[in-house]
Amino acid sequence: MSPDNTSSPDASSLHWVFGYGSLIYKVDFPFVQCAHASITGWARRFWQGSHDHRGTPSAPGRVVTLIPQARARCRGVAYQVEQQVFEHLDFREKNGYQRRSLPIRLEPCGAQVSGTAYVAETANHAFLGDAPLVEMARHILRCAGPSGSNRDYLLQLADALRMIGEEDEHVLELAAAVLEQSMGKEC
């Protein structure tokens, strides 16, 4: 991945943002640098409703959020951005997500930086919570919104995670269940 801009901004105006969902593969904002990264104490889960991107208000899709989980490690991508990028990200992540400050470990150097992740807490209006894997797969298969099908979101995320060497069991099992159910519909 390479930055969209070539200027050298003042270091005091730069901030790290941790991407663990579509921010890994849909980078529609300028950044100064990026690195594979991880956070600890958080797990990626398809427990957030999407009324505005991968679903509609009457049929929200399922997208990822971060859930506190002791000793968990979530890998993704960290982007160093200028302050004004948050205006775009705040709009993009508006459906129940809030900025949360947390430590991010950059790879492969292991440096720890302070950063921000967009987290949809359990009390937000669009939170769907846990469900059996088969039920979540069915839900994902029937939803679509202005940004495309919920199925594509899941499969693009699974591919992006594989590309950064992340074997997220929750995402990969859900992707396999969606593909299995998709095959059943085609027969």
Residue numbers annotated as active site:
93
Cβ–Cβ < 8 Å for 38, 76: yes
Q: Which residues pair with 73 in a beta bridge?
A: 40
Q: How many CA atoms lie within 13 A of 42 on its CB side?
A: 25
Distance CA 14, CA 100 (A): 16
Closest CA to 3 of 75, 77, 74, 103: 77
> Per the structure block, which two tokens stand in for 56?
């509609």
Residues written for the chain? 187
CA distance 50 to 92: 11
Q: How do strand 14-19 and strand 112-119 relate by DSSP bridges? A: parallel
